[in-house]
Amino acid sequence: MVGDHDPANEHILSGPSLNSPDPALPTSANPEGRRGLQAVIHFDGFRRLWVGQIFSQLADKFYIVLMVYLIAQYWVTNTPDSNGALAEIASAIRMDFETRAQRITLLATGIYVANTIPAMVLGSVAGVWVDRWPKRRVMVASNGLRALLVLCTPLFLIPGPHWFGLSWGYWALLVMTFLESVLTQFFAPAEQASIPLLVPREHLLAANSLYQATSMGATIVGFALGDPILRGLNHLLQTVGINGGEFLLLPFCYGMAAISLSTIQMREPPRKDSSESVWKEIVAGIQVLREQSSVRGAMVHLVVLYSLLAALYVLAISLASAIQGLGPTGFGTLLAMSGLGMAIGAVLVAQMGHRFSRRRLAAAGLGTITWCLIMLGQLRGNLSTTLLLCGVLGIGAALVAIPAQTTIQEDTPESQRGRVFGLQNNLINIALSLPLVLAGALVSSIGLIPVLWVLAALSLAAALWERPWERC
């Protein structure tokens, strides 16, 4: 909700630098000065935003699972000869095409690409418009439109013309996925920019910790339970004579997110009509990084961190291959342990992070990641040790990500937050994409251990850059 500027909210619009600890001060809404998750969850507006995040995050994960489910059920047959067009595509990109799983993977790659392109190129543009529009309306509209969009999914199963050897329905799925991702680019910066408007500055660290834990939980639950839930809905509704129960999950989740977000009461400074071009406003967002060293440093932390995590997604396959009883297809277990570690780290930061400076938290997290990368190479092949190290690495990642995100929220001017968070989404998605290609190529050419050492050196250099030995 757009409202007049309230001087009482000015403390939300700026924050301490990356190098200073959070002030352990009480607030009018929290007179005893309680900190951590117990305190932040009592802010009504933030609680509603958090519920909206839960449903939206789960829907995003269920969406990918549903797309793979539909590809397996309707577009990949058990007879390789009937997939001539797929065979030609696979040959062109030098991909094996012998098993049904490989054919599913090929078509699922199209879904991933359609989902990734908007994330890499539209973040900054979407961020500019988020700064021009009321954030609550952006969040509600993006989730409501996504709910309406996925209602079209059953229509794509209707028989029709074939293009390049594939039914029109598959190409329609790609278009829908692209549009879904476009709407997500508007939701993400609006969501991040709303947190400082709903939570007092001294509670931002706990609020971001809860968001990080929720994101990791949604990733684990969404990917681990998505397929059983979809099949369960299908079976449950078939018992009462209704087909297509799996198509109800996404509209329900996106719809619940929109409903929860629509109930938020949020005060925003009044907006002035902007006559500047979108490009000029993107440049203005970049200027914030030049002028605010704390925001620039926090952004670098996030880019480095997500580059390391993206490389780990590829390296997990090689690490799992060296473990007897796990094998390359078990790499998801290692990633799940990293996600669990990040969730645990998020809780630790929420409860105790305000006692330490941001610089030392970042250095400790990067140092932890450095140590884990080195030890993963030295102790590869041992299941329990590898799982433990992946969990500890996740904790280190939380020590970097949450303080950095909090600093960006605090030190970015309120009028610039949308475009800065849009730029952040651009950089992070690039940081997630490039290492996926480079890490695999490096492992093939120089081996797993040297790549782990290179990543450890990068993490160590970032930790030393923080000069944690100096007084903060």
- CATH number, domain 287-472, options 3.80.10.10, 3.30.950.10, 3.30.70.660, 1.20.1250.20: 1.20.1250.20
212: number of Cβ within 10 Å: 22
Q: What percent of the chain has pLDDT over 70?
A: 83
pLDDT band at 7 (very low <50, low <70, confident <90, very high): very low
Question: What are the pLDDT digits (tens) for 57-113?
Answer: 999 989 988 998 888 888 775 444 445 555 555 555 454 455 566 677 678 878 888
* Amino acid symbol at 120: M
Instruction: Give me the amino acid identity at 124.
Output: S
DSSP reduced 3-state for 166: strand
Q: Is the dihedral of CA 452, 457, 463, 468 positive or negative?
A: positive
Give me the helix-helix angle, 383-411 and 293-321, nearest 10°: 160
> Is the pLDDT at 377 greater than 50, yes or no?
yes
Residue 266 dihedral angles phi and psi, to the nearest 5°: -130, 130
- Between CA 207 and CA 195 the distance in angstroms is 8
Choice between 197 and 120, residue whose per-residue pLDDT is larger: 197
Q: First vs last Cα of the chain: how many Å apart? A: 39
The CATH code belonging to domain 36-202+218-275 is 1.20.1250
Give the integer Cα–Cα distance in Å for 285 and 182. Answer: 20
Maximum average pLDDT range among 15-24, 125-134, 145-154, 357-366: 145-154
Gap between the Cα atoms of 397 and 345, Å rounded: 8
Q: How confident is the model at residue 273 (pLDDT cuts 50, 70, 90)?
A: low
Q: Phi and psi dihedrals of 48, rounded to 5? A: -70, -40
pLDDT of residue 86: 55
Angle at 398 between CA 395 and CA 404, to 5 degrees: 155
The answer to whether residue 17 scores a pLDDT higher than 50 is no
Across the range 395-424, mean pLDDT stands at 88
Contacts of residue 92, defined as CB under 8 A and 6 or more positions apart, other chains included, come to none
Q: Mean pLDDT lowest for which of 299-313, 314-328, 433-447?
A: 433-447
Q: What is the mean pLDDT of residues 189-210?
A: 90
Q: Is the pTM of this model over 0.85?
A: no
Residue limits of CATH 1.20.1250.20 in the chain: 287-472
Q: What is the C-alpha to C-alpha distance for residues 256 and 147, in angstroms, rounded to an integer?
A: 9
